[in-house]
Structure 1
Amino acid sequence: MSRRLLAIESATDWLSIALLDGDEVVLMLQAEGTRQHASALMPLIDRGLSEVDWSIDDVQALAVSTGPGSFTSLRIGLATAKGLAFGRNWPAVSVSTLEAMALSVLEGDSAGITTGEGQGMLVLLDARRGQWYAGGWVRGAGSGGALKPILAEGLYAPEHLVADLGRDVVVVTPDRGDWRGEFERAGLRFVATLEGEHARPRADWVGRLGARCLARGDGGPASELAARYLRRAEAEAQRLGGPVEAGEVARVEGLEG
């Protein structure tokens, strides 16, 4: 049975929401030119519900992008999702920001980029300080081939990432041009790139991936959603010593419900 689903993408500067009926996208809205997620997210959700003539009680499930990404932005998205779900018993699914970006290239209209069977994709988000949030996927066999991981999601310096990847890839990143010098010096071999606006994280792909997870029986209470920070906040790093290890998942403090 299909569910009406609200998807939230707040992991980066580019905030968006989507409403889906099953895995069919009914509407997607983006907050243009703002980093004020705290003041923009609920009005965006209210506007979306109004445009499709749904009430908040017509929503039956949640899909939330849980990073990696900005500490503050992730907290806002998760806090909003948990607040909306409180008392409503919605199933909720955590969606990787990077994997949803990879899916958009595999199945979406990606500015002429094609990915055949076996073609690797490297998805990058700038984590600053000379490091990058990254994950790698390859398209599986057949026209409906699913994504298969080839590089674990983590926090990487370019030279370590290239050594672990070891193959030619399509690079997907919203950080137009910023990555090239660092990764070319590290020896990255890429066959094509999707950069800038076309590569931004988007809630419609978070929703599609979330709907598939829910159809498999994944998901749970919204109170259990947790962010994939992959790096400690600066204050926490100073207190505990050193950055978070790649792959570590940090629960959102004070939002467990």
Structure 2
Amino acid sequence: MKILALDTTSGACSVALISDDQLIERFVQAERDHTRRLLPMVDEVLAEADMKLADLDALAVSQGPGSFTGLRIAISSVQGLAYASDLPVVPVSSLAALALGARRSHPEWGQYPIVAMLDARMQQVYWGVYSTNSPSESLIPEAVQNPEEVLLSLEDSEVSAPIYGAGPGLHYDVFRQASLEAVDQACFIYARDIAQLAVPLLEQGNSVTAEELEPVYLRNEVTWKKRQKIRSQ
């Protein structure tokens, strides 16, 4: 299975290629430089693997939630590559990839659930809870909420403790009250984790065409209002 994955969801730019047991990746923290860096990183990874786009089985990308601008950059880049090569695309949750990366960095967290959280600005966070049994799907529907609402949702959920926390969205003071066993706020989303999550999804037939690929903002109402404001100016 040969899958090329891209991500620019947060403050990093990441590209990874999984080819059977081989992993080739590029990762750089470049929050304001995604557009210039992303496609050259794709070229570097493919060159190192001695492959062309036509040699791949699929492309994978973080479909969100996350930064509006970051999501558009990665998704539009993948769409262009998919159109050029007629490859299927596997959309992957950015929160699921964040949780998988945290689990990879913290093997001592074992098989326990991980709350993955990204800062959505406007005093809100994107969040979900992920297990090893179903790493691509949240145990609680992914949502955008203020920290107090997240805390209540966690307390009312049936997710069993201990629970661990990962991601920059956990910086809000209210989460000190959460019953989390341990927290790592300094987590990034890595394309290697997107690629890993994409493998079983592709095998299950969960891919889309370039034309069908769409970002998941969760905050659709806000996005719509912004577009309406721009159109009225």
For the aligned pair, the TM-score class normalised by the smaller chain equals 0.7 to 0.9
Cα pair 1:105 1:113 within 8 Å, conserved: no
Q: CA deviation at 1:232?
A: 4.1
Alignment-derived partner of residue 155 in structure 1: 144
- In percent, how many aligned pairs have the same letter? 29
Go from structure 1 to structure 2 and tell me whether the alpha carbon gap of 1:99 and 1:33 turns closer, same or farther (over 3 Å shift). same
Q: Which deviations, in whole Å up to 9, do the C-alpha atoms of 1:52-85 show, x marking residues without a partner?
A: 2212322231111011111111111111111111
1:63–1:211 Cα contact (<8 Å) kept: no
Q: Structure 1 113/126 Cα, relative in aligned 2: closer, same or farther at 3 Å?
A: farther
Aligned twin of 2:166: 172
Q: Aligned equivalents of 1:146 and 1:127: distance in 2? A: 24
8 Å CA contact 1:6–1:59 kept in 2: the answer is yes
Kindly state the Cα deviation for residue 235 of structure 1 after the two structures are TM-superposed: 6.8
Higher normalized helix content (fraction of residues): 2
Q: Deviations over 1:113-135 (max 9, x none)?
A: 4233xx32111101111100100
Taking structure 2 as the reference length, the TM-score comes to 0.86
Does the Cα contact within 8 Å between 2:61 and 2:75 map onto a contact in 1? yes
1:120–1:112 Cα change, 3 Å: closer
Distance 2:6 2:134 in 1: 22
Match in the other structure for 1:219? 207
Q: TM-score, normalised by structure 1?
A: 0.78
Find 1:137's aligned residue among 130, 138, 160. Answer: 130
Quote the Cα distance in structure 1 between the aligned partners of 2:205 and 2:219.
30
Structure 2, unaligned runs of 5 or more:
none
Q: Does 1:50 align with 2:47?
A: yes
Change beyond 3 A, Cα 1:10–1:165: same
In the alignment, structure 1 segments of 5+ residues that lack a partner are 140-144, 242-257
The question of whether the paired residues in 2 share the 8 Å contact of 1:18 and 1:25 is answered with no
Equivalent position amino acid for 2:4 in 1: L
Query: For residues 25-72 of structure 1, what are the alpha-carbon distances to aligned partners after superposition, in whole Å with 9 as ceiling and x for unaligned?
Result: 420101344421111111111111112221232223111101111111
